Structure 1
């Protein structure tokens, strides 16, 4: 049947035949209906079975109460059960800073999470709150008190009236609410205003009485001129924060212990010690342990010389925490010190972990060793380790003076919770009591301070002017072991020896202008002769502090002919070295740095700086501790608290680049590096030698560096983006609160009375200087008014032309309305 015949049918084609056009349209326009998309034709298909009962399951709300038992205090018989409410119900790490909040997931137990709240810092009261709880309880006017301009925008949305009447407004619901609902916060604020009313009135009366004398004598215009000169009374040069209430600083939060008096009956005071040592403890160590400051969870600050035994206090704190089944965190400023303390404490305590940027070992241990930046991250991220934390030990806390990282120590000290005891170890600094008073005032807990009077191993300082050959034994003493006086004779002899050699060189090769620098060959000859001099005088091992990584590598490469080890030591070094690098890939074992360091260590020479691979630095540290590295070229980071003393310390140069320019070492830097000289129990004195390659340093520079006072602890607190974002995320502690508790703000508070006295003196000086000129200002204001009148009046009169023509002056009688009299003259 053709199409024409089908069209001629009265009712179209029969329904049994498919519509080809419709099928083609669906095939082209609806590809999702193809059989390939039918999930029932897939190879694996599990049909769903409806389960309506699953809709009945829901998470139960946490219990808000618990049962408490009441017993008879005499017999212990159970009397009754009481239902008491639970505190911090529903508190988690995402919404609470309480220690009673629910613990987080196990994978966040150590490092925490960026979404967690930190635990509430100790010593910070509720006045520092930004208003999180108060804003929730206060009433919000949704009609008149809504913001229309978002933060950071200049313009916003203006909601204009739509001229529509709300017929529900006359209903008296709001009146009923005002009659029945009582806003307790408003009552408290009103009561506070009433309590402070008398104080405000007395201040206002005093201010009016002081200004009354000036106001009575001067006109309004003169008073405005004086107000620009005289400062206001409420200007105090302190850090500009919000109007939060300042903490009282009258209380003494630090106490210095006297180590001159011995501790009596030490064995009776502590019959069973948490840790014992095979040697006799020093007096300052017995002070801390004998009076049980650590056992009573007091904050302590040990400011002692190098090799004085500060680590004993830290070890006893770790032993106490292990006895109490709690945790201790040991923080250090550099990774080298962390690695060394991990090896030492691992042998002593066993359960010790290490968390640095390079290694993460046993993070669930009772004693964790880490850098201060990692501890700050754990505090901000709400780590669960803080719950069980008993002691935090800050080694080398004088690193707070560092301009780049010093603010980290202040943040950590502020953020530590109240139940954590602080143990601070530092080199000798002049203002130990000031720093301890700030820490005690911040944590609201007294800090006990001990400072040692002298080094256990005295130092002798020398100048070395030799250049090899016959002059290799030229070493001159400039500071004896008493450390109190500068030997000028030794300094003059060193200058003469250097000048005589330079004059001989000029006579041989002719005069040369400017400073003469040694060639690589001359420097190699000088080092070879110097090492031979130290070896013959039994001054090995030696640490050569070279304040440049490039010079460290150059000096070690130039000593190819120097060999300081025996055959037995060589075999042990090679065996130990190959054992340590066996975990490296075969290709990594052939790196140039690995091959070069292996040859240097075999001959007893080591290199230690930040450019060395971490595993190689650790090998050098361990071999140096065992006495197999006789000569170590290192940068100043090696001196930061690392317990690796040598018999001799050598300074390749006393000038360093600090990021801005070349400068001489500061006393604290020099003392820190020179303190590595002298091994306790092995050496009677330590030897410090300064090499004079070019010229002998200036006498004043040597005196200030060797005999000068160490740098005082100064605040390097600054606002960083990380701290601002973390505080904004928490919203419970304001940025002003952190600034208020910083060491910098404490310095301003202590000087506030001094500033107030100086301000009063300035105010009295200004007031006395203006007492003789008050009359002058009054007359000057009248003259100014008269000049303004004279500018307007003369043009209104006809006689002004004749007066001006005859070059005479006129005067005004009884104000502006009087005419000029041309027959009289007026001279001003």
Structure 2
């Protein structure tokens, strides 16, 4: 394309040059060229290099050049003004006064393609939300102006988050309507009384005029939608129209509209065609699937993907091995840009799915985030992915490496922070990979996964990697419903390396062969193996007791433990079953076990040399004094012998050394806690359990199946071992067979919601007016079960509303009578009667009265007010029932006329059923709640004979036999009682005769009597002429309304189980002035948003100026209370006077916050709230900030080195949070102090760089 600026080329003026603008580089740019040819020689139109020409634009290039050149003279070069200055004669143009100036483009150019072939068909303009007014401070739109580069990675708390996917965007007016929780039905729900007035006009009595035979054709045409008809003619093969035909959407043209058009046809044709079409349409409607939302689909992996390489001829990433079926299926879904949930056994190869997503992101030039539950796993994955993909970044609390990379590794907490803070990284995200998703069951941190999944924008696809869990479909359904995306669930059928489970009862070299298989590779529990283990243990215990008597419980156990480990490791070594991971559920026992085996040497001289060189090279990162730490020296000695220790008390750099040496096969025996089972693939040949019992923070218990499977899954190296070996040590008695069976073969723990409300979450959402906390709560996994059938419930509500609308006459009747109150009283009375009967009949006094022959009155269909005699009491697992003989009449069951149970006579039990035809009987079972009352009458009957006769006549060949004489006599006796007592029999008094003395039951009996009195005298509706015939219809109507209101409540926010707690927490925030009465976040609330833990207490400390009089070393020491989690006796901590004063001040503030919570309904005792602040490391951090060496501070406490390092690292993040809080409130002094705090603690071994990142 070319365009030119006209002018006189002979003037020599640069403005008069004749130039042309020519498209270059396949449409990528525009070039300006001079044109000295005559107009005849000029090219009128240059051919476009784009296949279908230049896309449309809002303004021509000429207009843009003129606007930029003439309207902004201040941008011209000052020293060249003489070349550009020019005077133009003024021309009067009154029409220009009416012109509207151009504004920023509100459209974007989009490409129209053939969705089948991908061929480009053309361009079209599309409206966008872009504009200079949309920024991160006022909009959740992806089209808002990007923020400054300094905030592009982590964002800032003043930014709005991007709009969560799956959540309908709403403007402020809609939010206000939603907060009122009103649903307006414009057909039947219009108000007749203005707000504030007592009376209005009821328009329902003004009936619409009857339709005449004259109709307006324009009205009919207005109601008919011809858009789809024309669309089908123009593009009959379009995907939309084809989909509409497949879905039966052509039938969605209203039947009512069809009927209107059919009215134009002759009557005979109308009757035949209309009936045929309507029936066909109705049949299609009934055949449609119900309104069931299924967002998860299980992918079949039982057979291989035969055409895999045809579907993906050129993969984004290749591996040197053939992919498993589940991996191929996952790759296919990723290529289709679909979300997957991969639940696979340990070491099955879930990482392949993550790697392919990363490769796809690189191919598409988008970004991908890999999240993990722990920082250590993030570091490991950073190293692995960096070796594979190169351009990989790492973001953790204290480290930020290459954050501009396309692939970012981070913890889930960091991603949550980025989402709330509106990080611009989120714009470019194509995939978010969640590893170890089963960690969502963690009570403390599981909520983070739910928050992130809810807050992710729509354009972000998710990949979930998890160990095998039983409810993958349920969890995937929740994610799909929340994000409104289909989730494909891919699960492995079996482990790649099967496991064999053993019990080990040996304790010496002689007994080292006492290894008994309990579960084989086919997952069969072997009872014979269990019995052999029990027998071996019993035999040795008997011999020992005879020879030595009772064993020394303390010293003997320690020596025995050493012998057990030595015998087992030597056996495994001989059988070539090393390396082995020994899981021990105590940090102290891990250290003790390793120390006891100092005589054990599992490495060759060459391996010792390799370990020594590697360890020294890693130790070079440490300061000279840090290299001499006892833990460092001890670990170096152990590792050279092939023994390692791995738990949270070990220094991070030493844990990484152990992991790397284990991965190289140089650590033969590793004592570890269960955290080693999470994360990077480090399988062993054998796994040993020191015990199957652990302390979960509350009590000692056996391992859960999921915990056992996760750890046992480390056994078996794919490609090296045919089976993995799992051994359970039997140091004491052999565990129960049922316990072992449940632990080894039981179902893993289900994924369960740990969603809870935090002040940080509430404040982060309240600061964005468009987002509502209730919407986030509604989308949590904990609410999924109550709302998963919401579409079905909404459809049921619609049908109920239609039924209610049809009963307009009953609505009027209820408005002018006391029917509703009457039936409410009746329903309450029946409920109380049923409950009291169930509680009293089988009490001690009730059982004495319930003997065979006791006469009672029933109140259940079809035996309303029928007398019966008790034959026997049946005791079942769920409840007790009564076998009774009921007096009826012949053909009673087929009678259609029944007495309403809502009549006062029935409710007050004034009359008894009296047969109008020949008396008959039925032997049946009834529930205690169906007994109206027990009478004071009884007579002797042969109950067994009556029951036997009844059972005999149930046999087909005896069904026509007459009843036995005993049955006839009992029936006649009941008839005699009814005829002699037409007004009812005397009933047993529950209070006096049964001696009822439970307060709750006595109150219920008194309430029953009060209700009976009111039903007898207090209601006028019972006197209405048609009461007997109307009461059942009115009750059915009220039942419909009750069901409608119940469904409406369940679908409303009022039914959220966390709503009361949310309201209480908001009241706390209002009381402490974090939000105003309208819910707007105030200054204190904005400060709290900057803080990640104990946000309320720290914010109060900042506003109370508690840190103003303290030095940085004192501030950082006291702040350790919010990150340290271990219990330490404070008597062992030496506080300076100023530290002690500061501690008391912090406790005062925490007590004030806790008391406010308690007063406003949050049921957490003040003492428990204050106890969450732990001051056990104040002295240690104080000395560290003063410059004391790490070796010296370890002598000040019993807390292990690894816990000290972890606390100080987290403390650095808290210092950054308080520093940001100081910036928000404009306190430069506090800001400088917190900077200094961070500098004081950020040194030496505590902040030594990870081996995985360098």
TM-score, normalising length from structure 1?
0.69
Tell me which of 391, 398, 404 is aligned to 1:351.
391
TM alignment of 1:51-200, pairs within 5 A = 64-66=103-105, 87-126=130-169, 131=172, 192-195=184-187, 197=189
The answer for the alignment partner of 1:581 in structure 2 is: 619
Tell me which of 528, 531, 550 is aligned to 2:566.
528
Q: Does 1:387 align with 2:620?
A: no
Cα distance between partner residues in 2 of 1:84 and 1:324: 25
Tell me which of 735, 738, 741 is aligned to 1:700.
738
The answer for the alignment partner of 2:299 in structure 1 is: 257
The answer for the alignment partner of 2:310 in structure 1 is: 268
The 3 A distance-change label for structure 1 pair 606 and 70 is closer
Contact 2:154 2:423 in 1 (8 A): yes
Instruction: String of CA shifts for 1:462-511, please: whole Å, max 9, x gaps.
Output: 0011112311221110000001x211111111111111121122112224
Cα distance between partner residues in 2 of 1:408 and 1:779: 55
Q: Does 1:499 align with 2:521?
A: no
SS in 2 for 1:730: coil
Cα distance between partner residues in 2 of 1:649 and 1:673: 8
The answer for the alignment partner of 1:445 in structure 2 is: 485
Q: Does 1:544 align with 2:582?
A: yes
The 3 A distance-change label for structure 1 pair 191 and 353 is closer
SS in 2 for 1:519: helix
Q: Does 1:623 align with 2:666?
A: no
TM alignment of 1:351-430, pairs within 5 A = 351-357=391-397, 359-430=399-470
Cα distance between partner residues in 2 of 1:613 and 1:520: 26
The 3 A distance-change label for structure 1 pair 69 and 271 is closer
Cα distance between partner residues in 2 of 1:511 and 1:86: 83
> 248-257 or 722-731: which moved more?
248-257
The answer for the alignment partner of 1:463 in structure 2 is: 503
The answer for the alignment partner of 1:207 in structure 2 is: none
Cα distance between partner residues in 1 of 2:147 and 2:352: 35
Contact 2:292 2:789 in 1 (8 A): no
Cα distance between partner residues in 1 of 2:141 and 2:649: 44
Cα distance between partner residues in 2 of 1:779 and 1:647: 76
Q: How many residues align?
A: 612
> 773-782 or 524-533: which moved more?
773-782
Instruction: String of CA shifts for 1:295-320, please: whole Å, max 9, x gaps.
Output: 23211111111121111111100001
Tell me which of 310, 319, 323 is aligned to 1:281.
323
Gaps of 5+ in 1: 1-55, 74-80, 139-184, 201-247, 786-828
Cα distance between partner residues in 2 of 1:497 and 1:450: 44
The 3 A distance-change label for structure 1 pair 423 and 517 is farther
Cα distance between partner residues in 2 of 1:405 and 1:562: 39
SS in 2 for 1:597: helix
The answer for the alignment partner of 2:261 in structure 1 is: none
The answer for the alignment partner of 1:175 in structure 2 is: none
The answer for the alignment partner of 1:323 in structure 2 is: 363
Q: Does 1:472 align with 2:606?
A: no
Q: 1:683 Cα deviation (Å)? A: 0.3
Q: 1:67 Cα deviation (Å)? A: 8.9
SS in 2 for 1:369: strand
SS in 1 for 2:358: helix
Cα distance between partner residues in 2 of 1:709 and 1:782: 55
The 3 A distance-change label for structure 1 pair 418 and 199 is farther
Cα distance between partner residues in 2 of 1:437 and 1:67: 38
The 3 A distance-change label for structure 1 pair 356 and 189 is closer
Cα distance between partner residues in 1 of 2:734 and 2:329: 45
Contact 1:649 1:674 in 2 (8 A): yes
Instruction: String of CA shifts for 1:13-34, please: whole Å, max 9, x gaps.
Output: xxxxxxxxxxxxxxxxxxxxxx
The answer for the alignment partner of 1:178 in structure 2 is: none
The 3 A distance-change label for structure 1 pair 361 and 67 is closer
The 3 A distance-change label for structure 1 pair 303 and 196 is farther
Contact 1:64 1:86 in 2 (8 A): no
Cα distance between partner residues in 2 of 1:661 and 1:779: 52
> 762-771 or 736-745: which moved more?
762-771
Cα distance between partner residues in 2 of 1:254 and 1:196: 38
Cα distance between partner residues in 1 of 2:827 and 2:731: 58
The 3 A distance-change label for structure 1 pair 190 and 581 is closer
The 3 A distance-change label for structure 1 pair 518 and 422 is farther
SS in 2 for 1:194: coil
Instruction: String of CA shifts for 1:734-762, please: whole Å, max 9, x gaps.
Output: 111011111111111248889x99xx9x9
SS in 2 for 1:66: coil
Contact 1:132 1:731 in 2 (8 A): no
Cα distance between partner residues in 2 of 1:603 and 1:664: 32
Q: 1:358 Cα deviation (Å)? A: 5.5
Contact 2:106 2:130 in 1 (8 A): no
Cα distance between partner residues in 2 of 1:196 and 1:626: 75
The answer for the alignment partner of 1:773 in structure 2 is: 907
TM alignment of 1:782-797, pairs within 5 A = none
> 341-350 or 547-556: which moved more?
341-350
Cα distance between partner residues in 2 of 1:89 and 1:676: 55
Gaps of 5+ in 2: 1-73, 76-100, 113-123, 193-289, 801-825, 835-858, 861-900, 911-1008, 1019-1254
The 3 A distance-change label for structure 1 pair 418 and 194 is same
The 3 A distance-change label for structure 1 pair 721 and 132 is farther
Cα distance between partner residues in 1 of 2:575 and 2:560: 23
Cα distance between partner residues in 2 of 1:549 and 1:542: 18
TM alignment of 1:551-570, pairs within 5 A = 551-570=589-608
TM alignment of 1:813-828, pairs within 5 A = none
The answer for the alignment partner of 1:176 in structure 2 is: none
SS in 2 for 1:368: strand
The 3 A distance-change label for structure 1 pair 190 and 779 is closer
Contact 1:65 1:84 in 2 (8 A): no
Contact 2:109 2:126 in 1 (8 A): no
**Superposed CA RMSD:** 3.5
TM alignment of 1:697-776, pairs within 5 A = 697-750=735-788, 766=831, 771=902, 772-774=906-908
Q: 1:608 Cα deviation (Å)? A: 0.8
Q: Does 1:632 align with 2:634?
A: no
Instruction: String of CA shifts for 1:23-77, please: whole Å, max 9, x gaps.
Output: xxxxxxxxxxxxxxxxxxxxxxxxxxxxxxxxx99xxxx9942398999x9xxxx
The 3 A distance-change label for structure 1 pair 387 and 782 is closer
Cα distance between partner residues in 2 of 1:425 and 1:437: 15
Q: 1:126 Cα deviation (Å)? A: 3.0
Q: 1:357 Cα deviation (Å)? A: 3.7
